[in-house]
Amino acid sequence: MRRLIIFIAAMASFAMAYPQLTATEAFSSAPASVLPLIDYITRLDMIDYYNSGSATASKNVMQGQSRITALSPMSVSVSVTSGSECQIALLPMRGDTAIVCIETVMTPTPDSRVSVYDRDWKPLSGSSFAMPAVSAWLTPEGKKQADVVESQIPFMLASAQYSPETDTLVLTNRLSDFLSDDVYGLVKPYLLPSITYKWNSSRFVPVK
């Protein structure tokens, strides 16, 4: 009985130290360095509009329109401007919760940046994520032709989406939207259409 009481007390102390975090709380508390175009009050309005079923957009600091496009306890997707999107999702950790923020610029071609933070929006040590270089997108046959393929690709373009249900981050090849049909036709057989990463409670690791 004494051990049970100690265990319950420890769990209660843990819950007080690390209260449950929701995606809406992460979204509303994001610092200006993460969401510079949407202030705190506007974010709260956006949450209310979405929960009430309203399609009303909110004015951001540039007088453009921002709205939430999808919302769950674990993830929120936001149309920040007509040319940019953001997904904020929760990442399970041992003893706590982390946050992944995916910023996607839509023009001229969707291209994402992925950042990982702790619950206080500080970069999570040891969990930083860099979008993979062209070499990581090569198929086995593409690796044999690496010099030829990479000479046709000035830089890699890929969009990212995180799924809380599977703890996976999927990067989608977007070069077909940028390169001419002739050039992309040459390199397409040597490039992967997507790359998947799995969150392992501390960082994203590629799925083989």
* DSSP assignment of 44-73: HHHHHHHHTT----EE-TTS-EEEEEEE-S
pLDDT score, position 1: 53
pTM attached to this predicted model? 0.88
Query: 162 - beta bridge partners?
Result: 169
Listed as ranges, residues in the chain with pLDDT below 50 are: 3-18
Distance in angstroms (rounded) separating the CA atoms of residues 75 and 85: 13
pLDDT score, position 14: 34
Q: Interior CA angle at 15 toward 164 and 68, to 5°? A: 35
pLDDT score, position 13: 37
User: For residue 13, what are its two tokens?
Assistant: 């102390």
The type of residue at 155 is: F
pLDDT score, position 118: 96
